Amino acid sequence: MIKFYTRTKKPHLYDVLAVALIVVATVIAISVISGGRYALLSVILFDAFFAYAIIRLITAFIGQLQYNPYSYNIIYYSGFALFLLFVLVTNLILTVKMIASPEIYGEFMMLSTLTDTAKTYMLISAPFIAVFSVALCISNISLIIHEGRKPSNFIGIVFSLLLIGGEVFLFTADKSASGSQTQVMIHDIFINLFAALYLYFECMVIGAITANAIVSHHEPEPDRDFIIILGCWVGEDGKITPLLRGRVERAIEFAEKQEKLTGKKAIFITSGGKGSDEKMSESAAMKQCLTEHGIPEDRIIEEDQSTTTVENMVFSKKKIDAVNKDAKIAFATTGYHVFRSGIFAGHAKIKSISIGSKTKWYFWPNAAVREFGGLLIAHKGKQAVILTSLCLIYIVLTILAYR
């Protein structure tokens, strides 16, 4: 098992960018000098680069887990590694064809294959997207039946329709090209741009699912001094909700296991204020639940001022620092919420590991989509750079293919 926070330096991929520039420059030089006669050599160079990039993404992924598992880089590394694997396989198939029939498969086919990678990836992944979307809709319908027709309970259905709609749009729009070569090129640029945008968000979905699955199933070492329990809504009747009870009981389960293994007793931080529609603070509701399970009050510290997950972390950190600034910390929350909560913990300078609690099967997918939406609206600068770069690559490739 990979241990978190065991690496002191953050992994970087500057070498991949440098190698990419060298390969592209070499391929351009080969094309100019040979007039396209050595296209096979260019394809082999791309094969080597894609293989190298995949290996580096995997090693960076592992290194990032060891450095800080709650990082956007985890999403990027895992999501785009899968896409690059597809590109490598596609390119290897072309390499075999070029060896077998060099008179048919030349430099143009190399450019055409690279240009179509985003579009082809979309079409090949369409069956998996369809299955995923149907499953998401089914869980969402079950959620609506059990929890009511609140607007937030329809997010999964809307997301499913967007995923399917994107695939249908590409399939139909890609067949509608007509007119002069310039008009067809503009059409193809539009199609490839759309595919690049879809590819980016598809990679983000895959990466987010992977990242959350890893951290939600990883349990901290049994040496925690404090366990922060993140709050959520308390029922109008003042009773703790099943979702919040699950977080509390998961924290107790870990603390009891730790005490049995090492004899170390963790202190619980119940974190969550009182909303306008709540009879008592989330912190007080969790404390009551803890005492009902036999946890003595001297092992419970209340943090009842926070209103968001970020504040949960920031205010809890102040409570912990007042007791022990070098404390080892874990935080307990629902499984779908652990990755984004870990990011917020990093913002609060808390080096902690999550303890994920389970929830009803029909509740998890819709909530996971909401979490993904929350991830998308953060780190806008980094996402803009990656998305813009991806779009520019496909624009240039499309223009070169027509030239």
DSSP 68-87: -SSSHHHHHHHHHHHHHHHH
Containing 296, the helix (H) or strand (E) segment is none
Low-confidence ranges of the chain (pLDDT < 70): 176-177, 238
Give the DSSP per-residue string, 346-394: HHTT--EEEEEEP--TTTHHHHHHHHHHHHHTSSHHHHHHHHHHHHHHH
CA distance 238 to 278: 7
Q: How many CB atoms lie within 10 A of CB 123?
A: 14
Domain boundaries of the chain, sorted by first residue: 1-115, 123-217+361-403, 226-359
Under DSSP, is residue 303 helix (H, G, I), strand (E, B) or coil? strand
Beta-carbon contacts of 264 under 8 Å, excluding residues fewer than 6 positions away, are: 222, 223, 224, 225, 258
Looking at domain 226-359, its CATH superfamily turns out to be HUPs (3.40.50.620)
CA atoms within 13 A on the CB side of 118: 29
Give the pair of three-digit tokens for residue 400: 């070169």
**Per-residue model confidence (pLDDT) at position 17:** 95
**Per-residue model confidence (pLDDT) at position 179:** 72
Give the pair of three-digit tokens for residue 91: 């390119």
Estimate to the nearest angstrom the gap between the alpha carbon of 269 and the chain centroid: 28
Output DSSP code: residue 274: -
Taking alpha carbons only, the member of 92, 90, 91, 88 closest to residue 80 is 88
CA distance 138 to 105: 45
